[in-house]
Structures are given as structure tokens and as C-alpha cells.
Amino acid sequence: MVIIIGVYETIWEVYTVGDNEFLKDMGQRIMVRRKSQRMTQEELAEKLGVSTQMISNLELGKKAIRPENLAKVCEALGLSVDFVLTGSNTKTAVDAVAEKLTQLTAEELQMVSDMIDYMNSKK
């Protein structure tokens, strides 16, 4: 269990049993994704406009991360914030479909809409 008790220079100051584990787990998820993208710490730091030491501390779970930097890390690595923080995605099936719909043309969206109307009329 993590309790957020204050915002200072970092996102939060965490004071609970296992707080170090939370930061280490978060850093591990970031490191695994960075490596899977064949990106060095230096490359990620440059992309984010932060120091390599900040990336190292983040991945080792030595320090928390500012919200604006967490958003940048997630964007740069194609990760969701919920996955970085919790290790799981909280997207619902509807969210996943909605995301896919944004990639369709107007004509394709109309076809999907017609299909949904047809399936709803069968109920």
C-alpha cells in the first residue's frame, strides 16, 4: 500500500512499508521498456531534456519522478502512466475500442456505426 503524503521536488514523498519496492518496480518497468526499444539511458535523457543521472535514479528506484517528467517518459516509451505506476493497464474494453476508432476514416466510422446499430436492433 502506498500513501502519498506530500508533493515536494518529486511527484510524491512515499512513507509506507514497501515504499522502496514501489519505486523500484516502477523503475524496472521503465527500464525494461527502454531496453526493448533499444534505447540507452543517454538517448532517453536527451529526448526528455533531463540528465542521464535522473534516468538512472528513476530506473533504480532511488528517486521519484515529477509528474511532467513521468508524462514525458511514458510518451517517449509508448507506455501508459497507469502501467508505469501499477504494473497493469486500467483501460476498459470500451477504451481500447475507442482508441482504435480514432484511426478510422469517416467512411469506416460510418460502417462501424451501422454495424453497431444492426447488432443492437437484434436484441
Arithmetic mean of pLDDT, 62-87? 89
Assigned domain for 101 exists: yes
Q: Work out the average pLDDT over 42-55.
A: 94
Quick check: is 9 in a domain?
no
pLDDT at 19: 66
Mean confidence (pLDDT) of the chain: 83
Q: Cα dist. 65→13, 81, 100 in Å?
A: 10, 12, 30
- Cα Dmax for the chain: 59
Is the pTM higher than 0.75? The answer reads no
Q: Are residues 68 and 108 in the same domain?
A: no
| Per-residue pLDDT tens over the stretch 90-112 | 766 777 788 888 889 999 999 99
Domain of 76: which CATH number? 1.10.260.40
98 and 53 fall within a common domain = no
Q: Report, as an integer, the average pLDDT of 52-69.
A: 91
Read off the amino acid at residue 29: R
pLDDT over threshold 90, residue 15: no
Q: How many domains does the chain have?
A: 2
Least confident of 31-35, 46-50, 94-98: 94-98
Dihedral over Cα of 86, 90, 96, 98: its sign: negative
Same domain, 73 and 96: no
Q: Is residue 52 part of a domain?
A: yes
- Mean pLDDT for 34-45 is 96
**Pair 49, 33 in one domain:** yes
Range of the domain at 41: 19-86
- The answer to whether position 110 is within a domain reads yes
Q: Are 61 and 54 in contact (CB under 8 A)?
A: no
Same-domain status, 75 and 122: no
For 12-31, letters b (16+ CB in 10 Å) and e give bebeeeebeebbebbbebbb
Same domain, yes or no: 40 and 79? yes
